[in-house]
Structure 1
Amino acid sequence: MASNLRFTTFIGILLAILLVGKSQPFSTSLPPSTFRLGRQNLTRLHFFFHDVVGGPNATAIRVAEAPVTNTSPTAFGFVAINDNLLTVGPDPNSTRVGRSQGMYASADFDEMSFMLVQNYVFEDERFNGSTLSILGRNPILSSVREFPVVGGTGVFRFASGYAEARTYFFNATNGDAIVEYNVYVLHY
C-alpha cells in the first residue's frame, strides 16, 4: 500500500514536471497584427540637452577614469554618467520635455570623441513615459554629429531613425554644455 502511494506520488510529480517544463520554441513567427503594427509614422523631435558637469547641481558625473586619462589630450578613458534635462528651448527654464539618462566615455586617443549611450525619457503629454535609445560615436568638436536611434518604448516601440546634435553653448571653464537635438524617428 505504502509502495503504491509512493509510486503514484512519483508518477504524479514526474507528470507535473513534464507538463510544466514543456519546452518553448526559441523563435516563433508572429503576424504584424500581434502588436497592432500598421503604417509607420515619422516623427521629428526638437529639444535641447543640458549637460551640467560643474558645480553643486551637476547632472553629469565622472565615475571612472583610466591611468592615462589625466595626461591624455583627449581625456581618454574617462566615463561619466548623466541624468540631463531636456527642454524645448536652450534656456534651462524653458518647458521641460524629459530627461537624458545614460553615459558617455572618452574613447579616442587622437580626437575628442565620446562613445555615447543615452535613453531619452519623455515627460510631455503626448510621449509621457516613452523612451528613445541612441548609441554612437560623438566627435564633440564637429559642428554636426549623427547618432542612430536603436530602439524605444511606449509610443516609440520598434523605433528606428537618427539624431543630429549641434553644440549650442559650451563653457570652456567648467565643461557645461547645451546641445540642440533634432531626432527623426520611425515608429508605429
Structure 2
Amino acid sequence: MASFLYYSIFILYATSLYSIDGVLIRQFVRSGGKTENLTHLHFFFHDILGGENPTSVRIIGPPNGTAGGFGSTMMIDNALTEEQDRASKLIGRAQGFYSVASQQADEFAFLMVMNCVFVEGKYKGSSISILGRNPVMNNVREMPVVGGTGQLRFARGYALAHTVWFDAATGDAIVEYNVYVSDS
C-alpha cells in the first residue's frame, strides 16, 4: 500500500513538472541546464523630425496617390535617455529605420528596424536589435527583441513602447521603452 502511495505521488509530481505547458522542461532543455538571466532595460526614445538638428529624416516618400503615407521611410539616430526630459543623461542611441507599413487608416502601423546601442552604464558597448510591427495608435505596443551584442549577446525578448509625448505639428515624439530580454 505504501509503495502504491509513493508511486502515485511520484507520478503526480512528474506530471506537474511537464503539465505547466511544458515550460519548465522546455526551458531547461533549451538552455542546456543553465539558468536564464532576465534583464529589464528602461529608457526614453526621442524621435525628432523638425528643427535644425533632426534625428529622424525621411529617406523615402510615399508613392503618388498613396493614402496615409504608406511606404514612407525614416532613417533614425535617436537619443535614448534615462528620463523623459531630452536633457537627461544620454544612455544610448536608437539607429535604424521605420516605415509606414499599413494602408488602412484605422490600423496605422510602422515596421521598426533598430539597434539600441548603449553608451553608458552597465551595458556600455552592448546593443539590442528590435524588429517588428509598431501599431503606433495603441497605448502600449509590443515588439520582439531578436538579438544583441556585447553583454546582451544572444538576447531575445520583447520591448513595450508607450508614447508619453507627441507634437502633431512637427511629428516629434518621446516614447518610453520597457525592454525584457534573456541571454541564453
Same fold (TM over 0.5): yes
For 1:83 and 1:169, locate their aligned partners in 2 and report how far apart those are by CA, in whole Å: 18
Q: Which runs of 4+ in 1 moved over 4 A?
A: none
The residue number in structure 2 matching 1:180 is 176
* Secondary structure of 2:68's aligned partner: coil
The residue number in structure 1 matching 2:153 is 157
For 2:88 and 2:66, locate their aligned partners in 1 and report how far apart those are by CA, in whole Å: 37
* 1:1-188 correspondence runs (5 A): 38-68=34-64, 71-110=65-104, 111-188=107-184
For 1:90 and 1:62, locate their aligned partners in 2 and report how far apart those are by CA, in whole Å: 24
Q: CA deviation at 1:125?
A: 2.7
The residue number in structure 1 matching 2:10 is none
Q: CA deviation at 1:73?
A: 3.9
* Secondary structure of 1:86's aligned partner: strand
For 1:185 and 1:123, locate their aligned partners in 2 and report how far apart those are by CA, in whole Å: 18
TM-score, length-scaled by structure 2: 0.78
* Secondary structure of 2:69's aligned partner: coil
The aligned amino acid for 2:85 is: D
The aligned amino acid for 2:50 is: G
For 1:72 and 1:142, locate their aligned partners in 2 and report how far apart those are by CA, in whole Å: 23
For 1:143 and 1:43, locate their aligned partners in 2 and report how far apart those are by CA, in whole Å: 23
Q: CA deviation at 1:38?
A: 4.7
The residue number in structure 1 matching 2:13 is none
* Secondary structure of 1:39's aligned partner: coil
- State the percentage of identical aligned residues: 51
For 1:94 and 1:72, locate their aligned partners in 2 and report how far apart those are by CA, in whole Å: 39
Aligned alpha-carbon RMSD (Å): 1.4
Superimposed CA distance per residue, residues 76-99 of structure 1 (whole angstroms, 9 cap, x where no aligned partner)? 110100000000110011111100
Structure 2: unaligned runs, 5 residues or longer: 1-32
Superimposed CA distance per residue, residues 98-130 of structure 1 (whole angstroms, 9 cap, x where no aligned partner)? 000010000110032110001000011311110
Q: CA deviation at 1:74?
A: 1.9
The aligned amino acid for 1:54 is: G
TM-score, length-scaled by structure 1: 0.77
Q: CA deviation at 1:66?
A: 3.1
Return the structure number with greater helix share.
Answer: 2
Q: CA deviation at 1:67?
A: 1.7
